[in-house]
Amino acid sequence: MARSLVSNPPYNLRWNHPMLSGMMPQYGGFPIPPESNANFAFVLNGLYLADDKIVFLLPNGVMTPAKAEKIILSILVQANLLEAVIAMPDGMFESTDIPTCILVFNKHKDTAETIMIDLRQHYEEETRDQNGQLGGASHERRTYHKTVKIVSDAVIDQCLDAITSHKSIVGFSQVATIENIKAQDFCISPSRYVKSEPVEVRHRAYQDIAADYNRTVRMKNAVRITFNRTAAKRLGLDPSLYENDIDISPSFKLVGCEAEKDNFVHFSANDGIRIECSTKDGDIPIMISDFIRNWTQYIRMLNNESNRYLAEFRDALLPDLMSGKIKVYDD
């Protein structure tokens, strides 16, 4: 009787190489998996124990291994043992957030192909209620609500059909040959193989975009500043950045729209900085409103400071006047 196996071993477990592990039959012909991670030790033991199909639920790291693990995977692929790779949605398990995948091995494949299936976007969500297991009565009597992702029966059936029928479905599955996998340097992540569904790029109406663009231009143009060139440079403004504007009107005309032009800053050789404000229809530009608020606070501060100095002057002057130290003349 053929022996199959389904395994969900502990993930990324540290282990110690058994004594004479190089002579153990499950590791024959393979590098010994590193002691830092037993994922491929479980795979090789499962392949040794079963003689038909072997299914593993493992962390995503096994799909892009390095060093000895990569050599193990390349041997398994080139031996035509890997039947399917299924990338699972994340957040499927209540006990871990580690993203997972399913590797399906078959010792009796009838083709030299591997089916790559990407389920990362093919899921539903459900909320499960559970009580705390630790922390005393306050936690054990409390019901927690946890949202997890699940794969529906319909999607599972679609997976089985893709595997048995060797179907490539855009956005879902892709048949990969041994040469295809070798060309990907033995990375078996389905995202490398499954073709994405074309995405229709939608955008707002050109007229709406143009209207918003022109609104921002009018807000800028509502306050026009003329700088003395030297003063501008001392303020950290580079005139060339403002004087070499690109005219984008032709681009808007292609879609039947008009684009207003920037007209908010100018430079001259005349002394000073001049600010002109447009108050069409009585509207005050936000920039000016903010400026006036800041200006009012600044003037109020200076007035208070001036008044303190005037009071100090008064208090200093009055005794000198009363003593005659300072003379007041009628003229």
Residue 199 lies in a domain: no
Q: Which of 161, 192, 223 is the last residue of a domain?
A: 192
Q: Return d(Cα 153, Cα 56) in angstroms, integer.
A: 19
Give the tens place of pLDDT for each residue, 35-82: 999 999 999 999 999 999 999 999 999 999 989 999 999 999 999 999
Q: Do 286 and 280 touch, CB atoms closer than 8 A?
A: no
Q: Which of 192, 218, 236 is the last residue of a domain?
A: 192
89 CB neighbour count, 10 Å cutoff? 19
Give residues with Cβ within 8 angstroms of 121, minimum separation 6: 89, 171
Cα atoms found within 13 Å of the Cα of residue 192, Cβ hemisphere only: 15
Q: Which letter does DSSP use for residue 201 in this model?
A: P
Kindly report the pTM of this predicted structure. 0.60
Residue with tokens 């209620």: 129
Residue with tokens 């003593």: 323
Residue 317 lies in a domain: yes
Whether residue 278 sits in one domain with residue 150: no
Q: Tell whether the model's pLDDT for residue 244 goes beyond 80.
A: no
Residue 74 lies in a domain: yes
Q: Return d(Cα 232, Cα 256) in angstroms, integer.
A: 38
Residue with tokens 């038909």: 52
- What per-residue confidence (pLDDT) applies to 145? 79
Whether residue 132 sits in one domain with residue 81: yes
The residue range of the domain holding 274 is 206-322
Whether residue 187 sits in one domain with residue 40: yes
Residue 72 lies in a domain: yes
| Structural domain count, the chain | 2
Q: What is the CATH number of the domain that holds 46?
A: 3.40.50.150
User: What is the torsional sign of CA 70, 72, 78, 80?
Assistant: negative
Whether residue 10 sits in one domain with residue 86: yes
More confident residue, 71 or 235: 71
- What are the angstrom distances between the C-alpha of 125 and each of 238, 314, 322? 55, 79, 90
Q: Tell whether the model's pLDDT for residue 153 goes beyond 70.
A: yes
Residue 181 lies in a domain: yes
Whether residue 28 sits in one domain with residue 107: yes
Cα–Cα nearest to 44, from 34, 164, 163, 184:
34
Q: Return d(Cα 233, Cα 37) in angstroms, integer.
A: 61
Whether residue 174 sits in one domain with residue 225: no
Residue 197 lies in a domain: no
Whether residue 318 sits in one domain with residue 250: yes
Whether residue 214 sits in one domain with residue 288: yes
Weakest mean pLDDT among 2-16, 186-200, 202-216, 240-254: 240-254
Six token digits for residue 303? 């007035």
Q: Tell whether the model's pLDDT for residue 106 goes beyond 90.
A: yes
- What are the angstrom distances between the C-alpha of 169 and each of 120, 142, 160? 15, 45, 13
Calculate the CA dihedral of residues 293, 298, 303, 304 and round it to 10 degrees: 110
Q: What are phi and psi of 167, to 5 degrees?
A: -100, 135
Q: Do 78 and 109 touch, CB atoms closer than 8 A?
A: no
- What per-residue confidence (pLDDT) applies to 247? 82
| Amino acid, res. 41 | A
Residue 289 lies in a domain: yes
